[in-house]
């Protein structure tokens, strides 16, 4: 008797952790559930059963089909035994005295599959997987590795540009989902990639904790600064590890077995066979993993690289070691030229690249990158804490050609010009920040600059403006517009101001719905038992009546003896059970208070 009745009894007997796990995996929606009978009915509804079957792989579905058809099952096989346990844990089958039995709702779902274009029980048992492709030839692997290493280098560079661009200006997420079109184009240009690669990069960066949303804005996190301080191989390892964690374990196992074979269409066919009920959502998910794998050089032209194979077979550390051997050698010296450009003779050590970005603007990114020093870039560096001495010391340490005279002059001019405009908090709730300068012309230019119209500057003198916005917002508005601005604290000391970063984690507490439901069920069961010893028995009988399943009812007689009746329950009410006695072929009415228990025949 595999019905709501037996499932409700089984659910009530589970411990809290097993019950919580079952609810979490089986009930994605939120049906109204007040007791274990409600839970059993919800689990056996066809949509809930279909949801459970959708995530099962082919071997597990074949085991379920064998149980459903009553086929013999070899429980001595470890794999089969594990699959039976998994099906039971998902409340799709249960073990009876005669062996494993599938719930009726599960059998009905499997029987309906052929009419829905899905494999029936016999097909699940007999169909073989698509034939595997031949292994990649060693010559093809060499070409794949070459292309993969180029992509890995380009992707690490592109991610660095993504974080730099978001640091300069956050990107806006639309209410309907996805980046705004202008921001998507801006980020694609900065990263040097096609527009369709930007959402993939943002998705991977978010999973790695390098970017996060604050309201509708995408911002970098503090972790992005740490990532930028790593070597190219370390940066790649972090992204590759995030990719690997994002791939579901079941799909990861399939990919692990195909590290020397083509992915793409052949992989999709295998996945469609291995997860027959998952359909298009699975393929779309896999396509995203494939796109990000191509972006990172885990694959190249749908073939796993040596580093990609090591990632799936041995983990991120082994993969990074394999990729490091393929990446171009990095340099730690550059050419400083009289036209104020800085040219690297090869890919720069990331820490050197990060430092150069503090004093210069990137002009081109490639194996040999170029930068340009400007008055604005030097003022930005000074605002971040650099001095003329520290800038000269850094450039001298990395330059092959020394510091050209025009650059030396520009450093002196930037130091003199820096801080002509000062921004500080007013301590006034209405006008929170003030902008001051000894140069009245600069104050006048800011006052009429339409780029600052949203800040609502009010002029209080020839040398001062006030605004309702806080100091840091005003500072970055002026700095981004290339004004020689410095931020001050309340005592007038110049301080550095960092752009706003998103929190590394979501501060909003999440509710464990499954745990909350388990607590509610336990409380309801305790309350029901305290109110009436007959409550659980009544719900059992009501479930049997609803499911039209026979019961063996044990009745206590006045003399202390017990009798058993095989009944087909027809109704419960007024403290009595009504049903047809199968053996005597008569209708019986039994007082609930005399019933000692019920069980399956």
Is the residue at 307 inside a domain?
A: yes
Same domain (yes/no): 348, 449: no
Cβ atoms 544, 554 nearer than 8 A: no
Residue 563: predicted pLDDT: 85
Residue 545: predicted pLDDT: 77
CA dist 384 and 497 (Å) reads 7
Q: Where are the beta strands (DSSP E) in 365-416?
A: 370-372
Is the residue at 510 inside a domain?
A: no
Residue 499: predicted pLDDT: 67
- Residues 103-123 have a mean pLDDT of 92
CA dist 47 and 344 (Å) reads 61
Residue 139: predicted pLDDT: 62
Is the residue at 525 inside a domain?
A: no
The count of structural domains within the chain is 5
Choose the final residue of a domain: 417, 436, 453.
Answer: 417
For 452-498, what is each residue's pLDDT tens digit?
888 889 999 999 999 999 888 888 888 878 788 888 887 877 777 76
Residue 533 pLDDT more than 60? no
Lowest mean pLDDT among 66-75, 142-151, 528-537: 528-537
Residue 2 pLDDT more than 50? no
- Residues 182-211 have a mean pLDDT of 91
Reference 544, options 3, 103, 107, 8; nearest CA is 3
Choose the final residue of a domain: 417, 447, 462.
Answer: 417
Same domain (yes/no): 161, 283: yes
Residue 502: predicted pLDDT: 59
Choose the final residue of a domain: 493, 523, 544.
Answer: 493
DSSP classification of residue 347: P
Residue 206 pLDDT more than 90? yes
CA dist 575 and 216 (Å) reads 59
Residue 275 pLDDT more than 60? yes
Structural domain harbouring 215 = 138-324
Reference 160, options 215, 234, 246, 214; nearest CA is 234
Same domain (yes/no): 374, 293: no
Dihedral angle of Cα 11, 17, 22, 25, to the nearest 10 degrees:
170
Q: Domain holding 577: CATH number?
A: 2.30.30.100
Cα distances (Å, whole numbers) of residue 42 to 14, 32, 88, 346, 412: 17, 9, 16, 63, 75
Same domain (yes/no): 169, 305: yes
Is the residue at 498 inside a domain?
A: no
Is the residue at 329 inside a domain?
A: no
Same domain (yes/no): 429, 413: no
Same domain (yes/no): 428, 447: yes
Same domain (yes/no): 106, 230: no
Same domain (yes/no): 485, 442: yes
Confidence of residue 234 (pLDDT cuts 50, 70, 90): very high
For 20-77, what is each residue's pLDDT tens digit?
999 988 887 667 888 888 888 889 989 999 999 998 999 999 999 999 998 888 888 8
Lowest mean pLDDT among 152-156, 175-179, 499-503: 499-503
**Whole-number CA gyration radius for the chain:** 35
The b/e string for 367-393 (b: 16+ C-beta within 10 A; e otherwise) is eebbbebbbbbbbbbbbeebebeebbe
**Arithmetic mean of pLDDT over the chain:** 85
Residue 340 pLDDT more than 70? yes
Same domain (yes/no): 158, 285: yes
pTM across the whole model: 0.70
Confidence of residue 507 (pLDDT cuts 50, 70, 90): very low
Is the residue at 526 inside a domain?
A: no
Same domain (yes/no): 315, 440: no
- What's the gap between Cα 290 and its chain centre? 16
DSSP string across 149-214: HHHHHHHHHHHHHHHHHHHHS-EEBPTTSSB-HHHHHHHHHHHTS-TTHHHHHHHHHHHTTSEEEE
Cβ atoms 310, 326 nearer than 8 A: no
CA dist 167 and 171 (Å) reads 10
Is the residue at 585 inside a domain?
A: yes
Residue 64: predicted pLDDT: 95
Same domain (yes/no): 363, 411: yes
For 164-174, what is each residue's pLDDT tens digit?
888 878 899 88
Same domain (yes/no): 157, 255: yes
Reference 392, options 346, 418, 416, 359; nearest CA is 359
For 436-449, what is each residue's pLDDT tens digit?
998 899 999 999 99
Percent of the chain with pLDDT over 70: 93
- Residues 356-366 have a mean pLDDT of 84
Lowest mean pLDDT among 157-161, 265-269, 430-434, 544-548: 544-548
Confidence of residue 514 (pLDDT cuts 50, 70, 90): confident
Q: Is the dihedral of CA 43, 46, 48, 52 positive or negative?
A: positive
Is the residue at 578 inside a domain?
A: yes
Reference 430, options 460, 459, 486, 470; nearest CA is 470
Residue 177: predicted pLDDT: 83
């Amino acid at each position: 008797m595999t019905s709501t009745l037996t499932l409700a009894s089984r659910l009530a007997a589970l411990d809290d952790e097993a019950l919580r796990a079952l609810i979490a995996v089986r009930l994605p929606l939120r049906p109204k559930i007040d007791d274990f009978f409600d839970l059993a009915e919800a689990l056996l509804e066809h949509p809930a059963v279909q949801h459970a079957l959708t995530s099962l792989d082919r071997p597990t579905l074949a085991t379920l089909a064998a149980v459903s058809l009553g086929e013999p099952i070899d429980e001595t096989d470890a794999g089969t035994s594990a699959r039976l346990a998994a099906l039971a844990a998902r409340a799709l089958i249960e073990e009876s005295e005669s062996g494993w039995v599938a719930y009726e709702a599960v059998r009905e779902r499997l029987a309906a599959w052929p009419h829905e274009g899905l494999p029936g029980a016999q097909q699940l048992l007999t169909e073989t997987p698509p034939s595997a492709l031949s292994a990649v030839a060693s010559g093809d692997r060499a070409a794949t590795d070459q292309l993969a290493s180029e992509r890995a280098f380009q992707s690490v560079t592109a991610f660095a540009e993504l974080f730099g661009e978001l640091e300069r200006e956050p990107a806006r997420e639309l209410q309907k989902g996805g980046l705004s079109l202008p921001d998507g184009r801006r980020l694609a240009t900065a990263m040097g990639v096609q527009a369709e690669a930007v959402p993939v990069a943002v998705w991977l960066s978010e999973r790695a904790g390098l970017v996060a949303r604050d309201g509708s804005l995408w911002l970098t996190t503090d972790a992005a600064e740490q990532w930028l301080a790593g070597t190219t191989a370390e940066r790649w390892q972090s992204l590759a590890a995030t990719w690997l964690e994002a791939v579901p374990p079941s799909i990861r196992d399939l990919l692990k077995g195909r590290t020397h074979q083509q992915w793409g269409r052949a992989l999709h066919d295998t996945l469609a066979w291995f997860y027959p009920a998952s359909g298009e959502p699975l393929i779309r998910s896999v396509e995203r993993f494939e796109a990000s794998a191509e972006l990172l050089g885990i694959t190249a032209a749908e073939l796993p690289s040596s580093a990609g194979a090591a990632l799936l077979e041995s983990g991120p550390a082994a993969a990074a070691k394999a990729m490091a051997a393929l990446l171009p050698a990095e340099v730690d010296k550059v050419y400083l030229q009289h036209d104020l450009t800085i040219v690297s003779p090869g890919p720069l050590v990331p820490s050197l690249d990060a430092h150069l970005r503090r004093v210069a603007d990137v002009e081109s990114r490639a194996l040999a990158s170029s930068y340009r020093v400007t008055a604005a870039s030097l003022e930005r560096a000074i605002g971040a804490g650099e001095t003329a001495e520290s800038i000269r010391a850094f450039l001298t340490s990395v330059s092959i050609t020394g510091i050209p005279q025009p650059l030396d002059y520009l450093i002196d001019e930037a130091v003199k010009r820096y801080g002509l405009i000062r921004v500080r908090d007013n301590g006034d709730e209405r006008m929170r920040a003030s902008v001051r300068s000894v140069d009245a012309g600069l104050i006048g230019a800011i006052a009429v600059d339409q780029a600052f119209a949203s800040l609502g500057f009010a002029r209080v003198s020839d040398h001062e403006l006030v605004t309702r916005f806080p100091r840091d917002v005003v500072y970055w508005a002026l700095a981004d517009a290339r004004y020689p601005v410095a931020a001050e604290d309340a005592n007038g000391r110049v301080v550095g101001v960092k752009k706003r970063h998103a929190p590394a984690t979501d501060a909003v507490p999440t509710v464990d719905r499954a745990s909350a439901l388990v607590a509610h069920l336990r409380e309801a069961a305790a309350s029901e038992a305290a109110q009436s010893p007959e409550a659980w028995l009544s719900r059992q009988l009501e479930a049997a009546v609803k499911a039209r399943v026979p019961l063996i009812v044990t009745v206590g007689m006045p003399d202390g003896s017990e009798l058993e009746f095989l009944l087909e329950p027809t109704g419960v009410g007024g403290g009595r059970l009504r049903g047809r006695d199968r053996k005597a072929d008569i209708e019986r009415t039994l007082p609930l208070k005399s019933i000692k228990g019920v069980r399956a025949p």
